Amino acid sequence: MIFLPTSSESIKQAAEILRNGGLVAFPTETVYGLGADAFNSQALAKVFEAKNRPHFNPLIIHIASIDTLEKVADLSLLSEERRQKLFLITDKLWPGPLSLILPKNEKIPGIATAGLPTAAIRFCDHDAAQKLISLSTGAVAAPSANPFGSLSPTRAEHVRDKLGEKVDMILDGGPARIGIESTVLDITNETIKILRPGGTPKEAIEKLIGHITDSSTTTENTVTKIISPGQLKSHYAPKTPLGVLSQKEIINQPYDVDNAFLFFDSATRDAWIKLQKPDKTAVVRVLSETGMALEAASRLFETLHDLDNCKVSKIFTQLAPQEGLGEAINDRLKRGSS
Ligand code: TXA
Ligand code: MG
């Protein structure tokens, strides 16, 4: 791990790491973020792994210019009235401690938003962060740079102590100016709502767009709500019924033209092929040829979407080994099947 103060040189180096799929912790005005290229699903999977989150939880996508907004969001899905409100807000409150929930651009991989059709997007008010983001692909997904369940880091040393070697580089920009996470505002729903109170006060938003609802009282509220089964299921579960099987069970699952088969690794697929002798038209996918949970996690949401379009009546899928990111994969598969 490289630990350097923010300078033109270190920021260039950090941007290079991001472009190559690595992880960089960087300062923002709120808290330190654990950044990965928002367009690279394997890099995004590393974020979940480094934080040791037991479940996937959608990340905030950081941009460094308003022109980049359309690269990460699909504003055509917003009504004219909503677009006007959006620009009233961004004109006055961006850059700043405010994340906006918007329909996501299809180029953003599903793992960034945990399968949701929306993404949290933020233009942060921090010079070094903005330089870093501009020199990368222009969009950096970053949750707070702390392990799951521990406090958000407001100093580079916090990140070093808690995440250390799990990060390729930590940029030290001194203590965070605000020290509390951004406000998360959902403007995609019928009623505009604060999902997480934070660095931008409700009043500052109301001054621009009138009364808004505060749906959350604590920071963790949003998180619990989003990963609660009811909340995510409708967004996440494939339309096709999903049958979740152990490795042994899927190997013994008879082939049927009307079913799709999703394997965790190619060894299990090969064992199944040997036993069930499917024909050439069989719909078969593998999450990771070599059985790497990181790669499997990065492909999970996309593969389920893809299978959903294959017009089969059921998808049989194999659970991942219940360790590391395998836990998060299995959590999502089980939710999708219930
Ligand atoms: O200040 C901040 O927001 C910091 C810095 C690094 O930018 N980031 C941060 O990220 O706090 P994180 O991952 O710790 O919190 C992201 C919050 C979570 O509550 C998550 O559930 C919510 O944003 N969120 C992300 N995407 C969402 C979506 N599509 N819909 C609703 N909530 C979303
Ligand atoms: Mg956090």
What is the reported pLDDT for 152?
Answer: 85
Specify which of 57-66, 194-203, 230-239 reaches the highest per-range mean pLDDT.
57-66
- Mean pLDDT calculated for residue range 276-304: 91
What is the reported pLDDT for 236?
Answer: 55
335 lines ligand 1 (CB under 6 A): no
pLDDT bucket at 298, cuts 50 / 70 / 90: confident
- Mean pLDDT calculated for residue range 76-88: 95
- The ligand with the least distance to the CA atom of 189 is 1
Mutation test of ligand 1: which of 108, 144, 228 has the most ligand atoms closer than 8 Å to its C-beta?
A: 144
Give 12 Cα–ligand 2 centroid separation in angstroms.
26
- Burial group, residue 15, by CB count within 10 angstroms (0-12, 13-18, 19+): buried
242-245: strand order across its sheet? 242-245, 314-318, 259-263, 283-286
pLDDT bucket at 124, cuts 50 / 70 / 90: very high
What is the reported pLDDT for 218?
Answer: 36
Point out the ligand 1 atom lying closest to the alpha carbon of residue 146. Answer: 14
- Mean pLDDT calculated for residue range 96-112: 96
Query: How far, in Å, CA of 320 to CA of 308, rounded?
Result: 20
223 lines ligand 1 (CB under 6 A): yes
Read off φ and ψ for residue 259, nearest 5 degrees.
Answer: -115, 150
pLDDT bucket at 178, cuts 50 / 70 / 90: confident
Mutation test of ligand 1: which of 31, 94, 122, 181 has the most ligand atoms closer than 8 Å to its C-beta?
A: 181
Give 240 Cα–ligand 2 centroid separation in angstroms.
33
Tell me the percentage of the chain whose pLDDT exceeds 90. Answer: 73
Q: Identify the residue whose C-alpha is closest to ligand 1 atom 6.
A: 33
pLDDT in tens, 10-41: 999 999 999 999 999 999 999 999 999 999 99
Query: How far, in Å, CA of 195 to CA of 221, rounded?
Result: 8
Give 227 Cα–ligand 2 centroid separation in angstroms.
14
pLDDT in tens, 216-263: 443 333 333 443 333 444 445 678 999 999 999 999 999 999 999 999
What is the reported pLDDT for 170?
Answer: 98
Point out the ligand 1 atom lying closest to the alpha carbon of residue 222. Answer: 19
57 lines ligand 1 (CB under 6 A): yes
Read off φ and ψ for residue 222, nearest 5 degrees.
Answer: -60, -45
Q: Identify the residue whose C-alpha is closest to ligand 1 atom 25.
A: 58
pLDDT in tens, 200-220: 988 899 999 999 876 644 333
Q: What is the mean pLDDT of the chain?
A: 90
What is the reported pLDDT for 35?
Answer: 98
Give 254 Cα–ligand 2 centroid separation in angstroms.
44
Question: What is the DSSP code string of 16-78?
Answer: HHHHTT--EEE--SSS-EEEEETT-HHHHHHHHHHHT-SS--PPEEEESSGGGHHHHB-GGGS
| Residues paired with residue 263 on neighbouring β-strands, in sequence order | 286
What is the reported pLDDT for 215?
Answer: 64
pLDDT bucket at 301, cuts 50 / 70 / 90: confident
Give 60 Cα–ligand 1 centroid separation in angstroms.
5
Tell me the percentage of the chain whose pLDDT exceeds 70. Answer: 93
Point out the ligand 1 atom lying closest to the alpha carbon of residue 33. Answer: 6
pTM listed for this prediction = 0.85
- Mean pLDDT calculated for residue range 115-121: 94
Give 59 Cα–ligand 1 centroid separation in angstroms.
5
- The ligand with the least distance to the CA atom of 60 is 1
pLDDT bucket at 8, cuts 50 / 70 / 90: very high
What is the reported pLDDT for 183?
Answer: 92
The more confidently predicted of residues 120 and 301 is 120
What is the reported pLDDT for 198?
Answer: 86
Point out the ligand 1 atom lying closest to the alpha carbon of residue 184. Answer: 23
The more confidently predicted of residues 6 and 303 is 6
The more confidently predicted of residues 298 and 44 is 44
